[in-house]
Amino acid sequence: MTGEAAADRRVVALTGADVLPFLQGLVTNDVLPLAKGRGIVWAALLTPQGKYLADFFVVNTGAALLLDLPEALADATLRRLTMYRLRADVQLAASPLQVQRGLGAAPADALPDPRHPALGWRRYADAPGTAPSTGPAIDWDAIRVAHVIPEAARELLVDDSYILEAGFERLHGVDFRKGCYVGQEVTARMKHKTELRKGLVRVRLHGEAGFGAEITADGKAAGTLFTRAGDHAIAYLRLDRATGPMQAGSATVTLDPAP
């Protein structure tokens, strides 16, 4: 079975005796279980101030250890990982493997997307997947909107987003028991000592409003509109101002129940 091509991803091969301990000290999730065999972990790389730099999958296919990165952030992410590497026995090199993804019955060598069951499976193959000329056969944006799943360079903004506001805990992208990593102190404080007052949510729209439109409530800034699918969208909102109808462009915006 061949999946749909994920052309906006880059695959990097990881080698060296220190690869998993190296990543364990940097990223938000626990990657050490991948030493036991096949698996996939979604994690983020943060600034020391706890702000988002990149998210990616760390993958053990059984034959190779890989990073599955968003192409838009790949160069900057690899530069930062190289900067942190110092004397660790870690090598990062371009991989010829291609990312395929799909829904329904999965190939034997595929792995489930760890963020949410609705995202199906991911596969790392020598050939690219299918690429319909009219666009993706699967409406991934509609799935993301339905389950409030952020994407790099869209809802996840470099040096701006906080992962807990972006739903990483709900989507299995952060582990609070794994120990220290870059940005851990701020993330743990947000988890244990504060109540989140802003975050990504699903909203319903009546009318027209474009990506990035400002959302207002009673004339006050309340947030930003992101990916839209039909009459629903992902929005970043100040939750204390999302208690009634809001405006974005010519659209009326209302908060949807949590997914």
With 0-12 CB in 10 A as exposed, 13-18 as middle and 19+ as buried, what is 82?
exposed
Domain 4-144 belongs to what architecture? 2-Layer Sandwich (3.30)
pLDDT of the residue at 193: 81
| Ranges of CATH 2.40.30 domains, the chain | 197-259
pLDDT of the residue at 17: 96
Q: Of 191, 207, 93, which is closest to residue 183 (Cα–Cα)?
A: 191
pLDDT of the residue at 139: 93
pLDDT of the residue at 132: 55
Amino acid at residue number 99: V
C-alpha–C-alpha distance, residues 196 and 164, integer Å: 8
In what order do the strands lie in the sheet containing 52-60? 39-46, 52-60, 65-70, 9-15, 91-94
| C-alpha to C-alpha distances, 173 to 38, 107, 147, 166, 225, nearest whole angstrom | 18, 24, 15, 10, 23
Domain 197-259 belongs to what architecture? Beta Barrel (2.40)
C-alpha–C-alpha distance, residues 166 and 147, integer Å: 12
| Ranges of CATH 3.30.1360.120 domains, the chain | 4-144
| C-alpha to C-alpha distances, 228 to 45, 69, 148, 175, 253, nearest whole angstrom | 26, 23, 11, 29, 12
Q: Mind listing the pLDDT tens digit of every residue in the chain (259 residues)?
A: 688 999 899 999 999 999 999 999 999 999 999 999 999 999 999 999 999 999 999 999 999 999 999 999 999 999 999 999 999 999 999 999 999 999 999 999 999 999 999 999 999 999 888 875 545 579 999 999 999 999 999 999 999 999 999 999 999 999 999 999 999 999 999 998 878 999 999 999 999 999 999 999 999 999 999 999 999 999 999 999 999 999 999 999 999 987 7
